Structure 1
Amino acid sequence: MRFSDPSGEHSSREPPTADVALAVNGMGSFTWDLETGVMHYDGGAYEVMDFTPDEFDGSLAMLRDRMLPEEVPAVNEQIERALRERSEFSTYFRVRYRDGWLRWTHTQGRVVCDDEGRPTRVLGIIRDASRELRAVDQTRQLREERAERHRQADIIGFVNDELAPTVTVDDVAEALTSTQMQEQLGASSVVLGLVEGGLVRLIGASGINEELLRDLRVVRVEEQLPLADVVRRREPVFLTEREEYLRRYPTMGRYLQLFSAASAVVFLPLIAHDRPIGALGLTYDGKGRFSTDERTVLRALGRTIAQSLERAFLYDQEHELAAGLQNAMLPGRMPSVSGLTLVPRYRPARARGGIGGDWYDALVLPDGRVAAVIGDVQGHDVKAAAVMGQLRIALRAYAAEGHPAATVMARASSFLTELDTDLFATCLLVVLDPATGTAETVRAGHTEPLVRFPDGTCAWLESPGGLPLGLMVDDRPAYMASETVLPPGAELLLCTDGLLESRGHDIDEGRDLLVDTLSTGPGSPGELADHLLGGMAAYTGAEDDVALLVLRRGTRPPAPDPRLDVEVLRNDPASLDTARALLRASLHRWSMDPLGDVAELLACEMATNALRHTEGDATLSARPVHYEGERRSLRLSVADESSDFPVRRAATELSTRGRGLMLVEELAAAWGVEPRGTGKSVWCELS
């Protein structure tokens, strides 16, 4: 902009006048006569306000016409305050030039008073502030852009931090739809969908109307709906106009009233390894556009979320496989025992893979006692699970043979050593008599059992501990048993160390916490088992797999099962007649008279074989066996102290011996031989 010397006589050798100096710098001066209300401008001020001297009449109304109406009240307020306080003012406003451009202007002035202190005039300057404010505006814009970049970086960092600890698909969905995530993203609603067999199924949402969730919970990929659309197209969609939204998704029109405050939406495809696995939808209130930085960040978030979901998919698949393998190796159900309740629980480790070596088992021994076992094989892999399955079967077999509890544990240790797996295992075996409450405990490097008495007090059952299975020492007794009596109503807890051990904490803390959790648990064994798992998980973090077994002795002694046990003596022939008579009487008492003749014949054959071939006495046992429905069978068995198994021989027409097992095989529904710790038992069943 050019300025001329108003006087026309200024020489470069003479100091410039004040009005010339102001005009050269894009400034001018003014005098405002408060008594007449007339504004007097110099040449520089005319230039700043885009007036000609003959055009401006000095009125304030003409000045206001050049200003923007919305800025006039603020300027008036500044001037009125200066007049009241007899002080100065300084303010910015915009002036519209003849060419239509708006330019920032700055004015400042001081109130001049007469001798009596009354304001008479205002002296001031006015200048073109467009360059100044342009630089300020650019600085402000740079500062806002820098702040926005920092905010976007904070969003990425927050999302990464929230998704880092997620493990399962449900964890990812919960993190993405949390209130904190909504606030950080600045979104009014979040919805997450997964692709499953040509469908998009919603797995998480927040801030979404229930009607919309119900109607769109599962949609087909080919439908023209937002999440399905971006899955199909594999490109994000950013929308800030409702008309464009309706044009693209016309079937969503009936739901628009549910988003009356929403002004922008974005739908992101979640793609992992070039395969769409889901979609994310976000709505925003009061948002007019998506900047380039925002679009870049949202695209990056889509990739991050897709990676987290893919990782969670793999974990869920591995976890499901591990849980299936583990459950296949654990017993399908607990035995039903009168006077005793058994409730097992198993929880896989939360870590990837989730395969562990923890197991439990229980079986009814021939004498009516119950053997309960719990153990933990070293390691968390398929090998540990396989060894666990073998060891569980071995322990079950040794216990079923009738060996003492300490012998069962010793044989299991030898078995694991002979497997040559370089693994060891801890184990706890409790043999409980439901009728008397007598419990015999043997430990192999395992945590002792915990008992809750009927009055609610809890205590660890002290018992000597031996080495873990697979670590045999030849010059010392392998294992020792301890015995205690559980009163009616008492509960016994057998568990693996995953229930009470936590990384970074002393084991005694976990033991004390488990005692407190057990003492405050519910009375039902099933609810108690769940209470223990849930109550201890917060402490342990579910870092290790857990097996536990709750045994609750009934408040009333169990009624004795109908059973006959009678000795058959080798040197007393009359004892066999006595046994036959007692068997006949028992069958009558059990309403099984139709089986009398066959039962006597087979019992005599098996007892005679035992007396003849073992050179010792025998025990004849009989008891009804109940199966599903109303069907009952009679189980006969003869036990002796010989480990030699009977051999079935083909008898000739002239033979007087060798037909005993043939008769058993022909007349019985099933028969077999069971080894016992001190001999064997030959059994058969009659339907």
Structure 2
Amino acid sequence: MIETLGRTSTPYEVRAVLSLSDRSPVADACRTGHSVWPAPGPPATADETPAVSVGALPLGAGDARLGCLMVVADGPHGFDTTRRRLLEMYAAQVVTRLEADGRPPTTSGLGQAGEPARGDSVLRRIRPGAFTLDLDTGGIEADERLLRLFGIAPESFDGRVEALLSRTVPDDLPALMSFVEPDRRARGVRNLEFRVRLTSGELRWLALSCRVQIAAAGLPDRLLGVVTDASQLRPRVHEVSRVQRLATALAAATTIRDVGSVVVTALLDALRADRVALAELEGDRLVITTLEPPEQNAWPGAWWSAWRAEWPGTPSSSLPRLEAALRAGTVRLWPSDTALQPDLAGLGPGGLALLPLPAEDRVVGVCVAGWDEPHDFGPEERSLLTATASLAGQALVRARAVDAEHELATMLQRSLLPRRLPALPGGVAVARYLPATAGLEVGGDWYDVIPLTDGQVAFVIGDVQGHSAAAATIMGQMRTAIRAYAVEGHAPDVVVSHANRLLVDMETDLFATVCYVALDMEEGNAWFVRAGHLPPVVRDPEGRTVELQAEVGPPLGVVAEAEFTMAAAAFAPGSVLALTTDGLVESSHLDVEEGMRRVGDSLAAADPADPDRMADALLGSAARRDDDVALLLLRYDGMAVRPRRAGWAVWRLPDAAVHARRFTTRTLRKWEVTEESDTVLLVVSELVTNALVHTRGEVRLDLTLIGDRLRIAVNDSSPRTPVKAASMDWEATGGRGILLVDALSESWGSVPLSGGKQVWSEIALPSGESGLLAPEDEATQGNGADHGDAAAAK
């Protein structure tokens, strides 16, 4: 297609369809990407018709070339250097308009037989105005078209640039002045869109392309430029509102999945696309994160397989058109009549849009939208697609950062929590921790299950104020401190008081709330303390729920001498205990009272036969959380086989070990434990002897039979823990006792008690021992030596 500029008396004829391999100015310019200015041709007729000048200017470059612009002028000297520069800037404006109209790139040839000349309407709309500005004097040579674009009558124009600047909107004037008054650094073609106000009051958008000519002294001399009406390129009001809604939605997207959901909604609803895919670019591989619709038959096999693969990722080079688009970083639109390779053609037989997602001077992903029915891409759609690509790219980078930080915070949080809960006699405990989705920082919620002596277990849940590394640090310290105080054998109120003083002494601005419940797994009796925390919720075997009420003390770390009241409760077998943090029951749209009521209702409706499902039911299905959530559940079943206990207060006599063995022999005979009696007596003798020799004060021996295990425990008043020798000097007279205990016991250890310690040993018994079926036995309390047969105890 040929467009003549000015009034030419003789057209320059070319064929309607050309090949890139042809030898002609048009083909040469399109093939090389450089303007071609051939020498003037001979007169067109024998009666001395003047020669004409011809120029061919490529439209676009590389894979994105759109075609070629051919210009013809009368006379052999129609295109001097100034006019050539102006025409090149005009060609750039043509490229912008063609891209806005959705003109697909041409790569195989110039035009197709029977194809309408889409550039015809573009050239007729542009009609640019040209000017030459003398930078020293401010005088400007402007054609009539330029003046009419500014709303100035040609006959009233005084030839001064100020007349044009006076029509510019004040907000856009500084940017325009930087073009009119360039410095030495202003090189190459520069582009600007600005507004002018016409005499009628109407605002008009204009697009300026200009180039500075440099004088011999290296200073700017003249400014050459073309100006076109850019109103068609500006988004309309409804387009702006669409982009604003898209930007708002993407600003709230905190995960990659959220970004994909927003983009899919924008393209499916606004442009009525039939399918949308979003993929991240990781290195040279595309990782597909979103496919909509998700049905397998809606996608080519390669795309579906890459999305569903265990290790997803398709090399971008496997899709050549995709790789080229990612490299260029520009939006590519293919109408229904474009030949595409099978994997791309299946995405949009009626039209395909490929949106590289740019961010931080690189491409971070790609979005593909396809239509089944023939689809024409108008300027408005192209504007929306370009805006979607830009905003989605920035949102994708933010989401990656959020995901990485959230994963790091979650990993830190989980590393401070118990890796697994202990198996409990007479009950099943489960726990859940969910990090907040609305923030990036690690939280201070924690839980713990602490086995204690004599069949008691402590259940702890707490929450440190704030979401930060400092809160996580305090949380770890509080959990460790409460566990240490509990294992020492302190009562619940003492444990919480000690933890409170410790946090006060840390001189931190943070405080912590905690609920501590100590439960006797054998009898079902519980003692609990609340320090500013939510009350425990209990579900009885009949399904009724109740909040355990007690006087609430202040949070830990507020008052050094705070008092914490201990309350009691009794659990029947089949009861369920629930401890939680406020993230489950309180949010911006839910008050605490209503949240606790919902917890009670969920606990009552859940099936206690499966504590894991019960915990999941309590958490609910909310996808977004304003705060962390910690949940600890215990189903108390009661002990099917009650432990049998016997105790002996050891006197400090020369034959104290003998009396301890006699007591043990009587107890084993009563419990009908015979096969491992020699082993038990030897362990008792060594533990009691060590306590008497190496400590002062009271020594106590306790025997506990639980199932097929016999536990031997010796309490003394020394905090020093016995250590097994790494090597043994056989000439030494001592040090072999702990080696014997270690060799004979299934397991053994030492735990601190208030003011002392307990050294314990467990010995496995044969499963046929009849002690398992014996009636409940009262604890034997010995206060002196036994005068029975000493030989029977040996």
Contact 1:226/1:267 (8 A) holds in 2: no
Shift in Å at residue 268 of structure 1? 0.7
Is 1:675 aligned to residue 752 of structure 2?
Answer: yes
Shift in Å at residue 177 of structure 1? 2.4
Deviating more after overlay: 151-160 vs 559-568: 559-568
Is 1:663 aligned to residue 745 of structure 2?
Answer: no
Within 5 A, what are the aligned runs for 1:618-637?
A: 618-621=700-703, 636-637=712-713
1:495 is aligned to 580
Q: Aligned to 2:689, which of 602, 605, 615?
A: 605
2:339 is aligned to 245
- Matching residue's letter, 1:589: V
Contact 2:515/2:530 (8 A) holds in 1: yes
Question: How does the TM-score come out when normalised to structure 2?
Answer: 0.59
In the superposition, relative to structure 1, how do residues 227 and 203 fare at CA in structure 2: closer, same or farther (>3 Å)? farther
Is 1:357 aligned to residue 441 of structure 2?
Answer: no
2:155 is aligned to none
Q: Aligned to 2:387, which of 285, 300, 313?
A: 300
Deviating more after overlay: 515-524 vs 272-281: 515-524
Counterpart CA distance in 1 for 2:723 and 2:591 is 59
1:117 is aligned to none
In the superposition, relative to structure 1, how do residues 646 and 221 fare at CA in structure 2: closer, same or farther (>3 Å)? closer
For structure 1, which runs of at least 5 residues remain unmatched after alignment? 1-141, 627-631
Shift in Å at residue 145 of structure 1? 6.5
Within 5 A, what are the aligned runs for 1:322-337?
A: 322-337=409-424
Q: Secondary structure at the match of 2:398?
A: helix
Contact 2:353/2:370 (8 A) holds in 1: yes
Within 5 A, what are the aligned runs for 1:40-51?
A: none
Contact 1:375/1:496 (8 A) holds in 2: yes
- Matching residue's letter, 2:271: L
- Matching residue's letter, 2:334: L
Shift in Å at residue 155 of structure 1? 2.6
Deviating more after overlay: 561-570 vs 333-342: 561-570
2:425 is aligned to 338
Deviations 1:212-252 (A, max 9, x none): 3542224211112554443344232111143x332xxx243
Is 1:156 aligned to residue 243 of structure 2?
Answer: yes
In the superposition, relative to structure 1, how do residues 485 and 685 fare at CA in structure 2: closer, same or farther (>3 Å)? closer
Shift in Å at residue 431 of structure 1? 0.6
- Matching residue's letter, 1:482: A
Deviating more after overlay: 164-173 vs 324-333: 164-173
In the superposition, relative to structure 1, how do residues 597 and 589 fare at CA in structure 2: closer, same or farther (>3 Å)? closer
Contact 1:193/1:203 (8 A) holds in 2: yes
1:377 is aligned to 464
Q: CA RMSD in A?
A: 3.5
Q: Aligned to 1:185, which of 256, 271, 291?
A: 271
2:331 is aligned to 236
Counterpart CA distance in 2 for 1:652 and 1:316 is 59
Deviating more after overlay: 233-242 vs 327-336: 233-242
Deviations 1:171-224 (A, max 9, x none): 11222224x651213322211111234321221122476243542224211112
Deviations 1:237-293 (A, max 9, x none): 111143x332xxx2437x54x755x2x211011122123221001124555543444
- Matching residue's letter, 1:503: S
Shift in Å at residue 609 of structure 1? 3.0
Deviations 1:4-44 (A, max 9, x none): xxxxxxxxxxxxxxxxxxxxxxxxxxxxxxxxxxxxxxxxx
Contact 2:724/2:738 (8 A) holds in 1: no
In the superposition, relative to structure 1, how do residues 653 and 337 fare at CA in structure 2: closer, same or farther (>3 Å)? closer
Deviations 1:23-69 (A, max 9, x none): xxxxxxxxxxxxxxxxxxxxxxxxxxxxxxxxxxxxxxxxxxxxxxx
Is 1:176 aligned to residue 267 of structure 2?
Answer: no
Shift in Å at residue 312 of structure 1? 0.9
Shift in Å at residue 601 of structure 1? 3.8
In the superposition, relative to structure 1, how do residues 289 and 648 fare at CA in structure 2: closer, same or farther (>3 Å)? closer
1:525 is aligned to 611
Q: Secondary structure at the match of 1:614?
A: coil
2:214 is aligned to none
Contact 2:492/2:518 (8 A) holds in 1: yes
2:316 is aligned to 221
Counterpart CA distance in 2 for 1:686 and 1:466 is 43
- Matching residue's letter, 1:569: W
Shift in Å at residue 481 of structure 1? 0.7
Counterpart CA distance in 1 for 2:731 and 2:399 is 76
Q: Secondary structure at the match of 1:498?
A: coil
Is 1:203 aligned to residue 289 of structure 2?
Answer: yes
Within 5 A, what are the aligned runs for 1:225-624?
A: 227-242=322-337, 244-246=338-340, 250-252=341-343, 256=346, 259-260=348-349, 262=350, 264-284=351-371, 289-474=376-561, 478-523=563-608, 524-534=610-620, 537=622, 541-554=624-637, 557-561=639-643, 565-570=647-652, 573=656, 575-582=659-666, 589=673, 591-592=675-676, 595-596=679-680, 598-609=682-693, 613-621=695-703
Counterpart CA distance in 1 for 2:258 and 2:760 is 55
Counterpart CA distance in 1 for 2:705 and 2:687 is 12
Q: Secondary structure at the match of 2:569?
A: strand
Contact 1:193/1:227 (8 A) holds in 2: no
In the superposition, relative to structure 1, how do residues 375 and 214 fare at CA in structure 2: closer, same or farther (>3 Å)? farther
Contact 1:580/1:604 (8 A) holds in 2: no
Q: Secondary structure at the match of 1:608?
A: helix
Q: Aligned to 2:714, which of 638, 642, 645?
A: 638
Contact 1:349/1:544 (8 A) holds in 2: yes
Shift in Å at residue 486 of structure 1? 1.3
Question: How does the TM-score come out when normalised to structure 1?
Answer: 0.68
Contact 1:348/1:544 (8 A) holds in 2: yes
Shift in Å at residue 442 of structure 1? 0.6
In the superposition, relative to structure 1, how do residues 189 and 145 fare at CA in structure 2: closer, same or farther (>3 Å)? farther
Shift in Å at residue 451 of structure 1? 1.0
Shift in Å at residue 584 of structure 1? 6.2
Shift in Å at residue 519 of structure 1? 2.3
Name the % identity.
Answer: 32
Q: Secondary structure at the match of 2:317?
A: coil
Higher helix share: 1
Counterpart CA distance in 1 for 2:646 and 2:534 is 39
In the superposition, relative to structure 1, how do residues 625 and 397 fare at CA in structure 2: closer, same or farther (>3 Å)? farther
Shift in Å at residue 365 of structure 1? 0.4
Contact 2:348/2:371 (8 A) holds in 1: no
Q: Secondary structure at the match of 1:357?
A: strand
- Matching residue's letter, 1:558: A
In the superposition, relative to structure 1, how do residues 390 and 191 fare at CA in structure 2: closer, same or farther (>3 Å)? same
Contact 2:333/2:353 (8 A) holds in 1: yes
- Matching residue's letter, 1:510: G
- In our comparison, the structure showing a higher alpha carbon Rg is 1
- Matching residue's letter, 1:663: G
For structure 2, which runs of at least 5 residues remain unmatched after alignment? 1-228, 307-312, 765-794
Number of equivalences: 519
Counterpart CA distance in 1 for 2:300 and 2:416 is 41
Q: Secondary structure at the match of 2:339?
A: helix
In the superposition, relative to structure 1, how do residues 528 and 686 fare at CA in structure 2: closer, same or farther (>3 Å)? closer
Counterpart CA distance in 2 for 1:671 and 1:455 is 41
- Matching residue's letter, 2:751: E
In the superposition, relative to structure 1, how do residues 226 and 566 fare at CA in structure 2: closer, same or farther (>3 Å)? farther
Counterpart CA distance in 2 for 1:215 and 1:600 is 71
2:188 is aligned to none
Deviations 1:51-106 (A, max 9, x none): xxxxxxxxxxxxxxxxxxxxxxxxxxxxxxxxxxxxxxxxxxxxxxxxxxxxxxxx
Contact 2:446/2:463 (8 A) holds in 1: yes
In the superposition, relative to structure 1, how do residues 623 and 599 fare at CA in structure 2: closer, same or farther (>3 Å)? farther
Counterpart CA distance in 2 for 1:276 and 1:332 is 40
